[in-house]
Amino acid sequence: MLSLIRNEWTKIFKRVGTYVMLGLLILIIGVTAAFTKYEDLKADESGNWKQELSAQVESEKQMLAENPDMNKFMMKDAERRIAINEYRIENDVQPSTKETVWTFVEMNAFSVLVVGLFAIIVAAGIVASEFSWGTIKLLLIRPISRTKILLSKYVTVILFGMSMLLVLFVVSFLIGLLLFGGTDQSTHLAYVDGKVVEQNIVGYLIKTYLLKTIDVVMMATMAFMISTVFRSSSLAIGISLFLLFVGGNATSLLALKFDWAKYSLFANTDLTQYTGFTPPLVDGMTMGFSITMLIVYFIIFQLLSFIVFNKRDVAA
């Protein structure tokens, strides 16, 4: 099994496209760092931060009072900001306007979307390309079960996605350390279950990135399934990218009107909604519920992939 995974890993890194993806990820981090540093040089610590936060709180409260029909997601987000700002005022926790290595690492969490895109591309091609190039016959004449062959390809895709996430975290940390410094552990304020809690920023970031891996795994698994079932990398990439960019927004819109939207895959892939940064998409959703839904989708995707691959006539 390990030799199969090693062979698939070698295939991935023999492609120029792999290094292009790696270079693009590092470039995105670098460009983000340049803009952030430029803005950071212009930022000044405010001596009247409590007054500014008080004004923001009053403005948010007035907005809520004047818009009772505001959608529940925006309302909960406003309530979160009010609670955190009031906590800062009451406990003398001044918000920093200067970047640190940790705030920069947190900022680059948005690039997980890019990592997901790259994982989709690899997942979409790792099986379909064997059919399009005709090499699948050579692969299957070996005395190895089809299940092991497909499993090795899937494990390689997941390892690739995790490796790209590790690159994102490490490069963000190193560039952030070089440009912004500030390795002292600061406090992150989260709004969890209706109250503000202080969290260690390093622990919060590690947890955030770990939870973000679930998003990458599920999107890669879906692309892998489509590629295996339809033997088309272009179809797998097209459908997966469409769902990656549209699925979440469409689910958010549906969640404003229908509670059944919580059963959608895209309502559950972002587990960071339970860490206090944003409110859950639908009332009543919990971490346990989302994990259960993800397991159900994961099993469905895997069953489709392995059943179709094992029964397919390669000569067809």
pLDDT single digits (tens) 117-171: 899 889 888 877 776 666 666 666 667 787 888 888 899 999 999 999 999 999 9
Is residue 246 scored above 80 in pLDDT? Answer: yes
Q: What is the mean pLDDT of residues 52-80?
A: 81
Q: What is the pTM of this model?
A: 0.82
Predicted confidence (pLDDT) at residue 294 exceeds the cutoff of 80: yes
Q: What confidence score (pLDDT) does residue 29 get?
A: 93
Return the structure tokens found at 125.
């091609």
Q: Residue 47 phi/psi, 5° resolution?
A: -80, -15
What backbone phi and psi angles, to 5 degrees, belong to 281? Answer: -65, -40
Go through 126-138 and write b for each residue having 16 or more CB atoms within 10 A of its CB, e for each that does not.
bbbbbbeeeebee
Q: What is the pLDDT of residue 170?
A: 93
For residue 257, being part of any structural domain is answered with yes
Looking at mean pLDDT, say which of 1-10, 140-149, 261-270 comes out highest.
261-270
Does residue 187 fall inside a structural domain? no
Which residues share a beta bridge with 191? 196
**69 and 150 inside one domain:** no
Q: What's the pLDDT score for residue 172?
A: 93
**Same domain for 273 and 162?**
yes
Q: For residues 120 and 62, is the Cβ–Cβ distance under 8 A?
A: no
Spatial separation of the C-alpha atoms in residues 5 and 16, rounded to whole Å: 19
Number of structural domains in the chain:
2
Same-domain pairing of 61 and 163: no
Distance CA 36, CA 28 (A): 12
What is the tens place of the pLDDT at every residue in 181-222?
766 656 778 887 778 888 888 888 888 888 888 888 998 998
Give residue 28's pLDDT band: very low, low, confident or very high (50, 70, 90).
very high
Alpha-carbon distance of 237 to 163, in angstroms, equals 20
Query: Are residue 27 and residue 136 in the same domain, yes or no?
Result: yes
Mark which of 57, 76, 95 sits at the end of a domain.
95
The predicted pLDDT at position 315 comes to: 54
Contacts of 124 (CB under 8 A, 6+ apart): 223, 224, 226, 227, 233, 234, 236, 237, 240
Q: Confirm whether 75 is domain-assigned.
A: yes
The torsion angles phi and psi of 188, rounded to 5 degrees, stand at -105, 130
* Range 42-60 average pLDDT: 78
Same domain, 121 and 174: yes
What average pLDDT score do residues 13-38 get? 91
pLDDT band, residue 86 (cuts 50/70/90): confident
Mean of all residue pLDDT scores within the chain = 83
Shared domain for 80 and 157, answered yes or no, is no
Residues 145 and 140: their CA atoms lie apart, in Å, by: 8
pLDDT at 203: 85
